[in-house]
């Protein structure tokens, strides 16, 4: 889980770091409400959540925004 939920986003930012800064872009990480609720699966989502907060502080001098989207469980009336 850590490879996909944390290390993947970290590698993407590492590889595109200079390009993101030049463009004063926005980094969007897809988290989960599980990142703030204790459970074994949620450790990788919690790590992503906290890493994103740190990255937000480090990138702010470069006018780069870091957004973490934390979804929760939902259902749609259409059944999808």
Phi/psi for 65 (5° steps) reads -95, 145
Each residue's pLDDT, cut to its tens digit, for the chain (80 residues) gives 899 989 999 999 999 999 999 999 999 999 888 777 777 778 888 999 999 999 999 999 999 999 999 877 666 676 55
Q: Does the annotation count 65 as an active-site position?
A: no
Give me the catalytic one of 9, 45, 46, 49.
Answer: 45
pLDDT, position 80: 54
CB 41 within 8 A of CB 34: yes
- Catalytic position from the list 30, 41, 60, 69: 41
Give the domain ranges of the chain.
2-65
- Render 23-70 in DSSP notation, one character per residue: HT-EEEEEEEGGGGS-SSTHHHHHHHHHHHHHHHHHHGGGT-EEEEEE
Structure pTM?
0.79
- Tokens representing 15? 């590889």
């Amino acid at each position: 889980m850590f490879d996909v939920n944390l290390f993947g986003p970290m590698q993407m930012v590492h590889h595109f770091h200079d390009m993101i800064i030049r463009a004063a872009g926005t980094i969007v990480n897809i988290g989960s409400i599980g990142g703030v609720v204790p459970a074994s699966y949620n450790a990788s989502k919690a790590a992503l959540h906290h890493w994103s907060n740190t990255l937000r502080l480090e990138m702010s001098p470069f006018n780069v925004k870091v957004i973490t989207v934390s979804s929760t469980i939902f259902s749609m009336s259409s059944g999808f």
